[in-house]
């Protein structure tokens, strides 16, 4: 029975044949279909227009801790990448979030979202509302990137495979169901509509090319599942802290 369900407990990944690239890609996509945080009850409630203003504020304030940690995680991965070409590609992710003299950056865009939902910039920056479960799960993600192989760290970023459709939907939902949010503060989501597909194209190509053995492929799938768990755990903590 376990064999039929694909739970091959009697086999070691080292002894199994590698998946083809198409099979490997499908394994990664299936992780998102089953585990991505768009299926979390808090997220479902958001997209149904069922969250209160307090809950939306709590989500934005807590998610800031994740946003500010993303370029830290990406800097860790950057330091591990084995080639100059890879580093030239990956460094754009840090610029996307931190910004520079020419671009605002995702962290600044998220602070503007905070203001759009009624939070002050200072309380978001001070992390006044960040709950322990969010802090713990985000720190675990940064540590994962630090401790695992570079291919696993890159694979963990592939939740971006699933985010563009979600972002596009979220913009429409926030504008329609939460009209009290200043739509000028939704720039972060609009920017990710183009940034995420670009980032994903590179990361997916690298993972598919460099994870050659079944063990390496399985580690990449597990890394993506871990990242989905990180996102899910954040929503668990926020839902508990900001229940109606």
User: Which numeric CATH code is attached to 49-241?
Assistant: 1.20.910.10
Among residues 201, 66, 53, the alpha carbon closest in space to that of 136 is found at 66
Task: Write out the two tokens for 102.
Answer: 């020419």
Please state the φ and ψ torsions of residue 105, each to the nearest 5 degrees: 95, 155
Q: What are phi and psi of 6, to 5 degrees?
A: 85, 10
DSSP character at residue 2: T
| Residue 229 scores a pLDDT above 90 | yes
Distance of CA 209 to the CA centre of its chain: 22
**Total-model pTM:** 0.91
> CB of 221 within 8 A of CB of 208?
no
Give yes or no for a contact between 37 and 235, defined as CB atoms under 8 angstroms apart: yes
Return d(Cα 234, Cα 219) in angstroms, integer: 23
Could you please report the per-residue DSSP string of 68-111? HHHHHHHHHHHHH-SSHHHHHHHHHHHHHHH--SS---HHHHHH
- H helix runs in the chain, sequence order: 21-35, 41-47, 53-80, 84-98, 106-116, 121-125, 132-147, 150-156, 163-177, 187-210, 214-241
- Biggest CA pair distance of the chain: 59
pLDDT in tens, 203-228: 999 999 999 999 999 999 999 999 99
Task: Please list, in sequence order, all residues whose beta carbon lies within 8 angstroms of the beta carbon of residue 25, skipping any fewer than 6 positions away.
Answer: 204, 208
Q: What is the pLDDT of residues 7-28, one digit of tens each?
A: 443 455 667 899 999 999 999 9
The string of pLDDT tens digits covering residues 69-109 is 999 999 999 999 999 999 999 999 999 999 998 889 999 99
Give the per-residue pLDDT at 165.
Answer: 81
Is it the case that residue 171 has pLDDT exceeding 60?
A: yes
Cα–Cα distance, 40 to 54 (Å, whole number): 18
Work out the mean pLDDT of the chain and round it to a whole number: 92
């Amino acid at each position: 029975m376990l064999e039929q369900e694909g739970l091959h407990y009697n086999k070691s990944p080292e002894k199994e044949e590698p998946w083809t690239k198409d099979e490997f890609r499908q394994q990664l996509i299936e992780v998102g279909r089953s585990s991505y945080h768009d299926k979390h009850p808090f997220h479902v409630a958001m997209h149904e227009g069922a969250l209160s203003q307090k809950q939306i504020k709590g989500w934005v304030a807590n998610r800031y801790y994740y946003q500010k940690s993303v370029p830290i995680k990406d800097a860790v991965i950057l330091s591990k990448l084995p080639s100059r070409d890879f580093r030239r590609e990956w460094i754009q992710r840090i610029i996307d979030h931190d910004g520079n003299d020419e671009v605002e950056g995702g962290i600044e865009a998220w602070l503007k979202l905070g203001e759009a939902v009624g939070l002050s910039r200072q309380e978001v920056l001070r992390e006044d509302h960040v709950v322990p479960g969010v802090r713990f799960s985000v720190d675990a993600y940064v540590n994962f990137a630090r401790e695992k192989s570079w291919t696993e760290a890159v694979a963990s970023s592939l939740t971006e495979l699933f985010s563009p459709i979600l972002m596009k939907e979220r913009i429409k939902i926030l504008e329609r169901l939460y009209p009290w949010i200043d739509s000028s503060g939704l720039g972060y989501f609009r920017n990710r509509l183009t940034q995420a597909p670009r980032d994903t194209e590179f990361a997916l190509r690298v993972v598919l090319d460099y994870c050659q053995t079944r063990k390496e492929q399985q580690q990449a799938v597990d890394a993506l599942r871990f990242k989905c768990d990180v996102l899910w755990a954040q929503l668990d903590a926020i839902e508990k802290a900001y229940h109606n």
